[in-house]
Structure formats: C-alpha cells, structure tokens
Amino acid sequence: MHHAVSSQDGNLFIERTSLAAVASQFGTPCYVYSKAAISDNFLAYQSALAEKEHLICYAVKANSNIAVLQTLAQLGAGFDIVSIGELERVLRAGGDPAKVVFSGVAKTASEMQRALELGIHCFNVESEAELELLNSTAVSCDAIAAVSLRVNPDVDAQTHPYISTGLKENKFGIDINLAAQVYQRAAQMANIKVVGVDCHIGSQLVDIAPFVAALERLLALVDELAELGITLQHIDIGGGLGVRYDNEQPPTPQSYMSAILPLLKDRSETLVLEPGRSITANAGVMLTQVQYLKSNGEKNFAIVDAAMNDMIRPALYQAWMDIQPITTGSAESAVYDVVGPVCETGDFLAKDRSLAISAGDYLCLMSAGAYGFVMSSNYNSRPRAPEVIVDGDQMHLVRRRETIADLLSGESLLPSTVVET
C-alpha cells in the first residue's frame, strides 16, 4: 500500500511538502495525512474489484476527519459506521447515505430512527434482540429496514486479542450455527427486508487464509439460506486487511481479491468490503518535538511533546510504530525510549530505538493515519492535536488545535453557597 513519506536530501516529505514546514507552521504534536495516499489506497480496492459488482464501505472509525471522508466520498466510497456521530460526519462530508452500512453491537432506537430517515444501505445486525428493536422502530417510523446479519464464523484471525472479533468468545455477531433460524425469524418480520450476510473477523490481518476460511463458511450459510427460500443481495466480508508497520508482509488488495474472487465467480451477490486501516494508516504520520533528552544510567529517554493521549496504540496494544527524525542532523546516535509528558509509565511511543537526535528536533511517527487522532483524548487536560492534509505542495488545516477554552467549554462550577457564621 502507498506509504506517504519519502526522504529527500535527509529531509522527510509527504508528497511535495516538507514535514519540517508543516511542524513549523502548525506546531506539534500534529497529525499529517496525504490526500494522494488516501486516494491511491482506496483506488487499489476499486481496481482489484473492477470485474465484480461491489461496494467499498470505508470504516469511518479508523480516521473520521470530515476532509478524509470527503476525499473518499468524491471517489464514490460507501461508509461503514458504528454510531450516529459517524453517520452525521459522513453526511457533513458529502457521503451518500444509500452507501452506508451501520455496524456495532449496541445501536439504540434513536440511532436506528435517524438511519432509517436517511435511507441507509443496510443495518449489520448483531443479535436477535437488536433485530426485534429494529423491527419495532421501523414499524413506528413506517419504514422498511434493510438488514444483513453479522455472523460469527469462529475463525481465528491470528491478531492481537483486543482486535480479534471472529471467535466464539468475542462479543460480536451471531453464532454461524444458529444464524439460519435468526434469518428465518427476520424474514417473517413485517418491517425487515433481509438483504445480506456479513462478518468481520479482526483487524491488522497479514495472512489471507483466515479471510478465505471465513468466506467459505459464509458461502455455506448462503447456500443453506437459499434452500430455505431466503436469497441475499450481498455478501459483506468486513475489513481487517493489515498494513506494514515494521516488517510485516500483508497482502495487497489485489492479492487479497485474487484469493477471494474465485470463490464468488458463479455468484451474483454484490461483494461488500469494509476496509479502514489499509486505506489510512500509511497515509498519515504524527509529528512531535523532542523537549528533553534524559539518561538515568541504565536507559536514555527522549521526552517528546506527544503522549499516549495523542497516540494510544503503543500503550494500549503494545504496537510497534516506526519513528524517525524529520531532518538528518549531526547528533550522535544512541538508543532511546521515546516517551511523553503524561504521568503514566505506559506513556511511550517507542522503546529501544536507535536515534541521532538533540533536544528541539522534530520526530515523525510513521503509519499513524489510522486509530491515531480518533482514539486521542484530553487525559491530563491536554488539548488534542491539529490535523493537516497535504495535497501536493499545499497544506490544509482540516482540524485546528484545541484550546484550553475548548477543554473547559462544556463544564460548569457548582452554584456558590454562603456559609453562615
């Protein structure tokens, strides 16, 4: 997949824009995305599916900035959402609700109502209880809800346990062995229209075999349903294609589809995909500045101005992310842990990295375009970072840095009380 960063004469660039120029204009920490990389990564899926009726629904959770969504909407993307907030973002970005699939285990009646009003493509229903609520909500709205059941194929995605979602012990979906009876129940409901089947077995998968195994189980279910008189319009195989953070060798969309499409060659159902990470992760970076270099005799620390509240993946998932100076300097190389200002031992971006750096230098955390800003928080009352999209030699601020006023804007003091003496 397209890696957004290139090196020219010892300086790092995104497209034709130097990262030093971005850091100087917008400060740090700061997220920077490449418009070309986002587009190229999406179009890699489009071209891999040129011969197959398809709908590519970008997983908004991976990076939900409205300018990122706008870039994808203009290329014809659909969207996979998991909340009404994500749906409203898609609308603001110019996305088509008729290309939206609504996933998630805990949809509320008000969320269902809004999605029905807008005429989304379908609801990915995760349980019988949700199906009942969706039907009664659709009745009250005088609407028909298009439904795809998310089944759990019990396939081991061989990824981090927090992002493995297709095993029996996970909270997601309906046991594939019980799915046929839930489909029959759905088919009898007055305001439900059964349109598809879906699964999502995990995230950051670097092997095609689990995808193939899951699809084979889905197709056996599709055939079982056809015998019961239930025909489906689409098969949704979710997302989860991994990216290269270190030395992983994930399949390209082309090689992934080359393994999947032969299984579908005699089938008329539309193929739906929900890629997220593979579109945005390597289209973005996070910039940070070294505040202090510190040694305790055993370890060297590079203390930077970005923290776990800005990028939680290393702390939460023990994720390895590459980090490089944005300009090659003359400092001597040493092995550092790159740590942030937050008061937790778990506040680190990288451990045991050989870096030639001095205080004041800017660093670039690679592959930060997915599950970066979207998972950031205000822990330690830290304002969240700005987001910038680079388009050739143009820099566009698509989210300004938060201010202290932003942090306090929703809060209020208790009414003052007079203490009688």
Average pLDDT over every residue of 150-173: 64
Q: Which of 415, 404, 388 is nearest to 31 (CA)?
A: 388
Q: Any alpha helices (H) in 109-156, and if so which ranges?
A: 109-118, 128-141
Active site residue 141: no
Can you give the pLDDT at residue 166? Answer: 46
Q: Does residue 164 register a pLDDT over 60?
A: no
Q: Which of 280, 258, 268, 299 is nearest to 371 (CA)?
A: 280
Can you give the pLDDT at residue 163? Answer: 43
Check if the beta carbon of residue 267 is closer than 8 Å to that of residue 229: no
Burial class from Cβ neighbours inside 10 Å (0-12, 13-18, 19+) for residue 95 reads buried
Q: Does residue 159 register a pLDDT over 70?
A: no
Q: Does residue 144 register a pLDDT over 70?
A: yes
Calpha distance 239→282 (Å, rounded): 16
Q: How many residues does the chain have?
A: 421
Domain boundaries, the chain: 5-32+281-408, 35-280
Check if the beta carbon of residue 15 is closer than 8 Å to that of residue 390: yes
Q: Does residue 290 register a pLDDT over 60?
A: yes
Average pLDDT over every residue of 306-332: 94
DSSP E strands, 25-84: 30-34, 54-59, 78-81
Could you tell me the pLDDT band of residue 2, with boundaries at 50, 70 and 90?
Answer: low
Could you tell me the pLDDT band of residue 233, with boundaries at 50, 70 and 90?
Answer: very high
Residue 70 CA, chain-centre distance (Å), reads 15
Check if the beta carbon of residue 25 is closer than 8 Å to that of residue 395: yes
Determine which helix (DSSP H) or strand (DSSP E) holds 72, and give its type and residue range: helix 66-73
Can you give the pLDDT at residue 202? Answer: 83
Residue 37 token pair: 């990389």
Can you give the pLDDT at residue 160? Answer: 52
Average pLDDT over every residue of 281-294: 98
Cis, bond preceding 97 (omega within 30 deg of 0): no
pLDDT tens figures, 70-111:
999 999 999 999 999 999 999 999 999 999 999 998 999 999
How high does pLDDT run on average in the chain?
93
Q: Note the CATH number of domain 35-280.
A: 3.20.20.10
pTM for this predicted structure: 0.94
Can you give the pLDDT at residue 294? Answer: 95
The catalytic position among 30, 57, 141, 343 is 343
Calculate the dihedral angle through the C-alpha atoms of 29, 35, 36, 39, rounding to the nearest 10 degrees. 120
Could you tell me the pLDDT band of residue 323, with boundaries at 50, 70 and 90?
Answer: very high
Calpha distance 216→262 (Å, rounded): 11
Q: Does residue 127 register a pLDDT over 60?
A: yes
Buried b (16+ CB within 10 A) or exposed e, 197-228: bbbbbbbbbbebebbbbbbebbbebbeebeee
Calpha distance 136→240 (Å, rounded): 32
Q: CATH fold of 5-32+281-408, please? A: Lyase, Ornithine Decarboxylase; Chain A, domain 1 (2.40.37)
Q: Does residue 171 register a pLDDT over 90?
A: no
Q: Does residue 343 register a pLDDT over 50?
A: yes
Can you give the pLDDT at residue 169? Answer: 56
pLDDT tens figures, 208-230:
988 999 999 999 999 999 999 99
Calpha distance 174→126 (Å, rounded): 6
Could you tell me the pLDDT band of residue 157, with boundaries at 50, 70 and 90?
Answer: low
Q: Does residue 1 register a pLDDT over 80?
A: no
